[in-house]
Amino acid sequence: MRVLWITAVVVGLDQLAKAAVLHFMVRQQSIPILGDWLKFTFTENPGMAFGIQLGTRGLVTFLALAATLLVIYYMYQVRNGYTPYRASLSLILGGAIGNIIDRVFYGVLLGYDGLFFGKVVDFIHVSLWRGFVPEFVPGLGGAYMELFPIWNVADMAIVLGVVGVLYFQNTFHRQLYEEQLAQMEDDPPVPESAEARTADGDGSTSPLTSLSPSERSTLQGPSSEDA
């Protein structure tokens, strides 16, 4: 599939960026890029997206691998489909593989844990909002909060891919329907011949229909007129 070059580019850029962070930064170091709005902050995420924890790191790695295999299988099923839709899936696949490399190998490569127990390297720090939560919000009213997701190139590719899938899915399904309709028009169903039906119309074939008139007369015996 030609769109897989997108997957390869995403994986390459993601791993190069993480290698640079590991080489030039130390954990928890933060480098301002655009003031407080955008920074490079070196963190390691043992859980899922946004630091969500779901069981052990081994379970998270297993779930990530299973989801990636499902994406690969689905991409094979739609390998001849709408190109922008498949390109969006390639972005998702590239991001998934990029983070799986961290989870599978980084624990061993960086010397802090075993195989399949690595942490995902995040560094793109975006401060979306900071301030006091309005008083009418239950449980959080009046509290000071800051929304600052820290992610990486792989995460960005996944988000862009999901947006692309949602945007292009209608065109993809419409094109698929039109192709199926065209195939039905090119190969219409063969109508059943009248000779293949019995007299009572039950759809079964009578053995008498394959005989000549003289043979049928012999098998059926003399008619009332001959008697």
Q: Which residues carry out catalysis?
A: 122, 155
SS (H, E, C) the chain: CCCHHHHHHHHHHHHHHHHHHHHHCCCCCEEEEECCCEEEEEEEECCCHHHCCCCCHHHHHHHHHHHHHHHHHHHHHCCCCCHHHHHHHHHHHHHHHHHHHHHHHHHHHCCCCCCCCCCEEEEEEECCEEEECCCCCCCCCCCEEEECCEECHHHHHHHHHHHHHHHHHHHHHHHHHHHHHHHHHHCCCCCCCHHHCCCCCCCCCCHHHHCCHHHHHHHHCCCCCCC
| Residues ≥6 apart with Cβ < 8 Å to 95 | 10, 14, 153, 154, 155, 156, 157, 158, 161
